[in-house]
Structure formats: C-alpha cells, structure tokens
C-alpha cells in the first residue's frame, strides 16, 4: 500500500483561481497584493492540511466477492464490500485493476460512508478471452475533510478467477426449460414423451391422438380406447469433435470463431446430458489436443467445462486423417458424431469431407458450420467499381464452392447445418433435438 499521487479537487482549483483574481486586482490597488499573499498562503496551508488529514488505508477495508467461474462475453457481477473503520466520514473513489481488454460497466466507483459503517457496491466485468486471470489491486482516492485534495493509493488485492465458455447461457436454458419457455429464445422444446420409439406408458385415448397409437388388446380388455405413449430414446451416444486448427482462429460476428463454437459445444453437450444421453468430446488440430470418453450427468458436464475453458486455436493446418483415425479407435458404439469445423471450398476442404464421409456407414455424422455473413453481403451488394466487382465475384465463387461441398455431404449421407454465428448455439441444439425426435440414431 503506497501513496501514488495527490490531486486538487475543483473546490481547490476554484480557491486558487480566486487568488489569481485578487492578484490581477493588485494592478489597480496595491493592497490587493498583500491580500493575495495571505489568500494564497491560506489556500496552500488548507490544501496541505486537507491532504494530510485525508483517510489513509488503515481507515477502510475493501473486499471483493464474486464467482471465480466467470462466463465469456457476459456481464459477470463483482461485489465490493467497503468498511469504514475510522471515526470520520469516508468519501472515496475506487477503480479496480482489471485484465487488459476486459470491459466494465463502471470504471470508477464512488462511495460515501459515515463513521463505523459498511456498504456494498456492484459492477459488472465483461471478459473477452477464456483462461486464467486475476484482479490484482485497487486504485483508491480518498477525499480530505475540506474537500480540497484527493489522495491516491495503490492497494494490492489479488483474486484469481477462470473465464469459461458461456455458463450463464446454460443457467438461462435450464431456467427457461423449467418454466416451459424455451421457444421464446428460439429453442425447440425438449419433450421426451409423445414421440420416439421407446414405450413409456398407456393412457386414455384423446380426440387428437393418432389411431396408429391405439393399443387394441388393452382397449378390448378395458372396454375403452387406450393408446400407447412413447418417448424419445435415452442413453444414446453423442460424440463432439472440435476443429481447433488455423481456420478456428479467425473472427466472425465480432468474436473469435473458436469461442463461438465452444459456446455451442457446451450448450449442445448440456442439453444432451440433460436428456439422458452419453456425451464424449475431442478437440484436435495437427494433433489431438483433448479427448474425453463418453460420460453422463453433471460430472461429465464439469469435465467438459474444465477441458474447454483454456482451449486455444493452433496456427497449423488440421490433420483430419490423424483425428478421425484416433476417434475410430476409441468410439466403437454407433453414435451421433457432431463435428464443429469449417469449409472454405471443395478443393482445400477435400480431406475433411473425405474423412467425415467415412463415418456414415457406422455412425450418424453431423457437420456444423459457421456462415460468414460478410461474404453473403459482398456477394449480393451491387458493385460500384472494379475493386468491388472483384470482391463480389470472389464472394460468389466462395458461396458456390460452399454449396457444392454441402451438396456432396448430403449425397454421401452426412447431415450438415450451415448457421450464422449469432444463431449457432440455438440452431445446433435444435438440430440435435430434431434428430432425436426423428429417431435417426
């Protein structure tokens, strides 16, 4: 804890300005020169005394309170508890030292406390990167009793935290599911009963029921129409593959591509585990970066979260042959294999297309891509000069190659979703739920 500076307040500056006016009047009447000397001396003595009497670090205590597991690209609340331990009022400004490029809703926090009192204030921290970080210190300015000087203090206060993929979105999904309000956010409702192939129960016939659901033997025995109710299969296998190679390092929609994909991976894993499925995960680039075998329940979700929170892109070309051969040696039971990757064009992406097609006989492959909305905009915008015309033609060629690649996947039995970044999590979950509802696995 050390003093870093002392700055005059507007009140002090006004007092010095008044001294300047008195000095200017000394040209009219010499007596104002004497008055100026006394006024300036009084102002300086008052400022020095005010700074000396300003509360020091022994007069207060600041403590942070927050969830050490923060969510990426979300407002995470930070609570500061300030205790005035002195016998005089405490007026101060607090600035928390945050990691570089992180954002806060309020940079400076103002506090006014009576003697021997306590106050809690809150601000929101907006992390822009995943990984391990810390809040290192407070910068505090305390106001003297005359309101003339603010004394600055640097106070070490280290608190470590981890920035994870969007955990707040998972809590929000859970809350919406409990309230049966998922459709308000664009999600399909997760209804386990009513469709599927696994028998759930018998119930009385309702006017809008399908006649094919009637159980005729039970109807005859009970002498009233009875239908069979089925449920979507549980305990199925979902294996998620995440491409962390060079293409994942680009930005789409203002955010890193890999961060957006990780948020979608976490959301689809959460929904699958909630519906009773087993989930496994692999991330790869030129080599396997992580592999989690199948698991279920909250423990598996925690393993996935801990595996993904500090995963970073690698500036290398992805080795799809090595990745898919490794998965083939580990995943033996028929599974929905969900691959988060990208296709540039049918030529450069040929190895990826070839290997995901090889999954089709044994597994159900689903490829999830992120669409670059800027390319679509360039392709549809009228060109005003040669440069814009070249850009437009290039964008149209990229879109054509992408459509050719997606058509090839469809012909080879690979399902593909080409989604905008802002809808990736929602539509990826909807695609998974639709596959379950159709009993394709």
More confident residue, 303 or 173: 303
Pairing of strands 60-65, 193-204: unpaired
**Nearest 5°: phi and psi at 26?**
-65, -20
Pair 238, 274: CB distance under 8 Å: no
Query: In the chain, pLDDT over 70 holds for what percent of residues?
Result: 84
Bridge partners, 126 (sequence order): 103
* Confidence class for position 399, pLDDT limits 50, 70, 90: confident
Separation of alpha carbons 193 and 13, rounded Å: 73
Question: Is the torsion defined by CA of 196, 337, 295, 72 positive or negative?
Answer: negative
pLDDT of residue 192: 45
The CATH architecture assigned to 237-437 reads 3-Layer(aba) Sandwich (3.40)
Separation of alpha carbons 77 and 319, rounded Å: 41
Separation of alpha carbons 235 and 241, rounded Å: 19
More confident residue, 117 or 204: 117
pLDDT score of 159 more than 90: yes
- Residue pointed to by tokens 């006024």: 39
pLDDT of 233-261, one tens digit each? Answer: 567 899 999 999 888 888 777 788 888 89
From its phi and psi, is residue 173 left (phi > 0), alpha (psi between -120 and 50) or beta?
Answer: alpha
pLDDT of residue 231: 54
Separation of alpha carbons 294 and 305, rounded Å: 14
pLDDT of residue 190: 53
Identical topology for domains 1-164 and 237-437: no
Give the mean model confidence (pLDDT) for residues 164-178. 71
pLDDT of 79-109, one tens digit each? Answer: 999 999 988 889 999 999 999 989 999 999 9
Residue 133 CB partners (closer than 8 Å, separation 6+): 99, 102, 127, 160, 161, 162, 163
pLDDT of residue 241: 93
Separation of alpha carbons 248 and 285, rounded Å: 10
What ranges do the domains of the chain cover?
1-164, 237-437
User: What tokens appear for 308 in the block?
Assistant: 């993904």
- The CATH homologous superfamily for domain 1-164 is Immunoglobulins (2.60.40.10)
Pair 274, 308: CB distance under 8 Å: no
pLDDT of 35-68, one tens digit each? Answer: 878 888 888 888 888 888 888 888 899 999 999 9
- Residue pointed to by tokens 């969900």: 338
> Mean pLDDT, the chain, as a whole number?
82
Q: Is the pTM of this model over 0.85?
A: no
Separation of alpha carbons 279 and 91, rounded Å: 54
Q: Residue 166, SS3?
A: coil
pLDDT score of 221 more than 70: yes
DSSP letter for 214, please.
B
DSSP letter for 108, please.
S
Question: Is the torsion defined by CA of 175, 180, 182, 185 positive or negative?
Answer: negative
Pair 282, 241: CB distance under 8 Å: yes
pLDDT score of 186 more than 60: no
User: What tokens appear for 367 in the block?
Assistant: 């490829």
């Amino acid at each position: 804890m050390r003093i870093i500076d002392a700055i005059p307040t507007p009140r002090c500056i006004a007092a010095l300005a008044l001294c300047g006016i008195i000095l200017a009047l000394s040209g009219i009447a010499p007596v104002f020169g004497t008055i100026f000397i006394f006024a300036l001396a009084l102002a300086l003595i008052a400022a020095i005394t005010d700074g000396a009497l300003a509360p020091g670090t022994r007069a207060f205590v600041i403590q942070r309170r927050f969830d050490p597991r923060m969510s990426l690209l979300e407002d995470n609340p930070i609570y500061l508890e300030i205790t005035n331990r002195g016998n005089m009022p405490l007026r101060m400004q607090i600035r928390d030292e945050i990691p570089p490029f992180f954002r806060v809703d309020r940079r400076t926090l103002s506090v006014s406390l009576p003697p021997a009192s306590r106050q809690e204030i809150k601000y929101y921290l907006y992390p822009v990167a995943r990984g391990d970080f810390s809040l290192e210190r407070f910068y505090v300015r305390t106001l003297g009793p005359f309101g003339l000087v603010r004394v600055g203090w640097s106070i070490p206060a280290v608190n470590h935290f981890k920035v994870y993929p969007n955990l707040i979105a998972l809590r929000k999904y859970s809350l919406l599911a409990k309230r049966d309000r998922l459709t308000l956010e664009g999600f399909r409702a997760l209804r386990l009963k009513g469709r599927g192939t696994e028998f759930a129960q018998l119930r009385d016939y309702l006017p809008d029921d399908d006649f094919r659901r009637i159980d005729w033997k039970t109807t005859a025995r009970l002498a009233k129409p009875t239908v069979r109710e089925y449920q979507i299969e549980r305990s199925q296998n979902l294996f998620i593959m995440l491409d962390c190679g060079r293409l994942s390092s680009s930005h789409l929609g203002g955010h890193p591509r890999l961060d957006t994909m990780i948020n979608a991976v976490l959301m689809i894993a959460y929904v699958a585990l909630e519906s009773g499925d087993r989930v496994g995960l692999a991330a790869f680039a030129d080599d396997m970066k992580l592999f989690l075998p199948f698991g279920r329940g909250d423990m598996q979700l925690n393993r996935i979260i801990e595996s993904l929170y500090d995963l970073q892109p690698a500036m290398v070309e992805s080795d799809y042959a090595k990745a898919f051969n490794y998965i083939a040696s580990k995943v033996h039971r028929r599974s929905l294999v969900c691959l988060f990757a990208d296709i540039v064009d049918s030529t450069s992406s040929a190895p990826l297309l070839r290997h995901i097609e090889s999954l089709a006989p044994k597994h159900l492959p689903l490829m999830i891509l992120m669409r670059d909305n800027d390319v679509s905009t360039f392709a549809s915008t009228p060109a005003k000069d040669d440069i814009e015309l070249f850009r437009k033609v290039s964008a149209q060629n990229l879109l054509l190659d992408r459509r050719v690649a997606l058509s090839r996947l469809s012909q080879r039995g690979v399902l593909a979703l080409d989604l905008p970044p802002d809808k990736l999590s929602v539509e990826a979950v909807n695609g998974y739920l639709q596959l379950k509802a159709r009993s394709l696995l």
